[in-house]
Structure 1
Amino acid sequence: MTKLAVVTPSFGPDAELFADLHASVLEYTSDDTVHHVIVPPRDKKLFARYAGPRCRVWTEPELLPRRYARVPRSNLWVNRLRPWPPIRGWVIQQALKLSATARIDADAVLIADSDIVLVRPVDAAAFRTGGQLCLHRAEHAVHPGMTRHVRWHQVARDLLGLPAAQPPPLHDYVSSLTFWDPDVVRSMRTRIGQATGRHWLDAFTSRLHISEFILYGVYVDEVHAVGDPPAANTALCHNYWDRTPLDQDAALAFADRLNPEAIGMMISAKSGTPLAVRQAAVARCAEVAGR
């Protein structure tokens, strides 16, 4: 068993971003850390260049039962056992993270999207306290106006067989970079099956609105580690979420604000920030991290 693995869903349009992320995984994780990238079958050749001892390229169907199929020329999927309503690609992507993590023989998995770049060395042991991995938990951060988050909480509780959620404020577990424990993911999937009477994946993908991060967080805090919750850590990643592109000066100023505890940096792919500007920010973050 290795100490750490990294899981990243990606696809062709994010290939350049993934290249920078993967280079940072090679630089900042131990030699036995494997980067698992999950891509559509059509993009396998594009990502094949990374395959080797430190990168496993998965195609989506390899991680799903045969009853799941993509609808041609769309980002929708169907479960042939219950084909309506179709499943949004965003929900399938979440399920793929859970499926991949459950298959991996590692002490910890770092979930990282393609627009993440690591900027400091990553040692999973440093993020364990009392044997438990830290959890991204922004306490009482979900307010009544965050209607999607409130719904995600209720869906998570439904899948886990828990009583209805209390009114907000609720904890926010959504993060661009976070650690998952594969053993916890496996036990969570078993719990979903027991609570719903269905295969965990079918129960998960039947929901139109769901968050894998909220599901994992609620499970850890209220089922797996009830009475002994893991330490919270919301500082793993330095994030830029806006959809406005950064120019060079703004990107460098953003990098200069790197949190002393952050191991990663994220400039959202949806911001449209030019690749050269992103890379300048990455280089500056590395300078800041090394000070």
Structure 2
Amino acid sequence: MSLMTELAVITPTYRPDAELFDLLHASVLRFTPADTVHHVFVSEADLPLFSKYEGPRCKVRTSSSMLPRRYRPVPGMNYHVNVRRPWPPVRGWIMQQTIKLAAAGDLDADLVLMADSDVVFVRPTTADRFQVEGRRWLYREDGGVTADMERHVIWHRVARELFGLPPAPPPPLPDYVSPLNAWEPAVVRAMQQHIEKVTGRNWLDVFNGQLHISEFILYGVFVDEVLHAGKDLLPSDITVCHNNWQRSPLSVDEAVKFAGEIGPDAVAMMISAKSDTPLEPRRAAIARVAEIVGSR
């Protein structure tokens, strides 16, 4: 997909997040190295809207370009169907995860950042931020998955099944889910190959055949439990992105207050798209962080 680079950014997005994506992409251009390319994946219908970003530092592609021809979109619905195994149909949320995995495994980069559309970078960001004492970084919140987080528990179970691992111990379990996550393409490729070895099927078909799965839990469990490169070798760090998961809109004052609480190690900030926070508070939050960073 590209020449070998140290860092790349991947964002699947869609029309309702177009304004948020504009803020994200501007921050990628500002805060990542000049050879960092932002790889953006959209539907065929949304391609005209996002094609204006195409350039040396942004590659806009359709999600279907990453899929084998046996996957067909269902007209008028956010589903794909694998014509070889048409049931269950692949929901849009699962397909978005598939695109991340396929794209990350295909990239010639040392490190890939998975950035949701509601993320913005707020400080200079290089691959070195995701390495500690020569060891690659892993986002892992130890004990972050509790028994009441039923979907996360299922994601752990499914990941371990795909890797041929014994069942997980009772919660609490580690959480690997973040709006900004760092993957090594070489590790993604090894993970794909391991799934195929265990299941005897193409990793993409196996992944898309799941009703409940998380790409981030999958990657984290693979690193920790299959590669055994986790707790003793890879430091966990959850300070990289300053997050607000609130589901209701933030006012300007609330957004500015939230931004003012950003930690010194965070390179990005996220106000959840599900909050429906307008652009004005988001821009105010970005401006507040710029003041803080400039004063340090």
Q: Select 2:234's aligned residue among 212, 230, 234.
A: 230
Q: Select 1:98's aligned residue among 97, 101, 108.
A: 101
Q: Select 1:168's aligned residue among 151, 165, 171.
A: 171
Q: Which residue of 2 aligns with 1:19?
A: 22
In structure 2, do the counterparts of structure 1 residues 102 and 132 end up closer, same or farther at CA, with 3 Å as the change threshold?
A: farther
Q: How does 1:68-147 map to 2 (within 5 A)?
A: 68-129=71-132, 131-147=134-150
Q: Which residue of 1 aligns with 2:253?
A: 249
Aligned residues: 291
Q: Which residue of 1 aligns with 2:37?
A: 34
Amino acid at match of 1:247: S
**Structure 1 runs, 4 residues or longer, greater than 3 Å off:** 129-132, 225-229
Q: How far off its partner does 1:131 sit? A: 4.6
SS of the aligned residue for 1:145 comes to coil
Q: How far off its partner does 1:126 sit? A: 3.1
Q: How does 1:147-166 map to 2 (within 5 A)?
A: 147-166=150-169
* C-alpha distance in 2 between matches for 1:4 and 1:64: 23
Q: Do the aligned partners of 1:133 and 1:179 also contact (CA within 8 Å) in 2? A: no
User: Structure 1 vs Structure 2: percent identity of aligned residues?
Assistant: 56
* C-alpha distance in 1 between matches for 2:176 and 2:182: 11
Q: How far off its partner does 1:16 sit? A: 1.1
SS of the aligned residue for 2:281 comes to helix
Q: TM-score, normalised by structure 2?
A: 0.96
Q: How far off its partner does 1:130 sit? A: 5.4
Q: Which residue of 2 aligns with 1:264?
A: 268
SS of the aligned residue for 1:85 comes to strand
Q: Do the aligned partners of 1:7 and 1:112 also contact (CA within 8 Å) in 2? A: yes
SS of the aligned residue for 2:46 comes to helix
Matched, 1:52 2:17: no
* C-alpha distance in 2 between matches for 1:226 and 1:124: 19
Amino acid at match of 1:262: A
Amino acid at match of 2:204: L
SS of the aligned residue for 1:208 comes to coil
* C-alpha distance in 2 between matches for 1:184 and 1:234: 20
Amino acid at match of 2:246: D
Amino acid at match of 1:246: L
* C-alpha distance in 2 between matches for 1:10 and 1:290: 31
Q: How far off its partner does 1:75 sit? A: 1.0
Matched, 1:187 2:190: yes
Amino acid at match of 1:253: K
SS of the aligned residue for 2:177 comes to coil
1:95-130 CA-partner distances (Å, limit 9, x unpaired): 100011111111100100101000000011232135
Amino acid at match of 2:258: F
* C-alpha distance in 1 between matches for 2:291 and 2:73: 43
Say what the alpha-carbon RMSD is for the aligned residues: 1.1
* C-alpha distance in 2 between matches for 1:160 and 1:57: 32
1:79-100 CA-partner distances (Å, limit 9, x unpaired): 1110011111100000100011
In structure 2, do the counterparts of structure 1 residues 206 and 132 end up closer, same or farther at CA, with 3 Å as the change threshold?
A: farther
Amino acid at match of 2:268: G
SS of the aligned residue for 1:144 comes to coil
Runs of 5+ in structure 2 lacking a partner? none
- Point out the more displaced range, 128-137 or 167-176: 128-137
* C-alpha distance in 1 between matches for 2:129 and 2:181: 14
Q: Which residue of 2 aligns with 1:213?
A: 216
Runs of 5+ in structure 1 lacking a partner? none
* C-alpha distance in 1 between matches for 2:247 and 2:96: 21
Q: How far off its partner does 1:225 sit? A: 3.6
In structure 2, do the counterparts of structure 1 residues 261 and 130 end up closer, same or farther at CA, with 3 Å as the change threshold?
A: closer
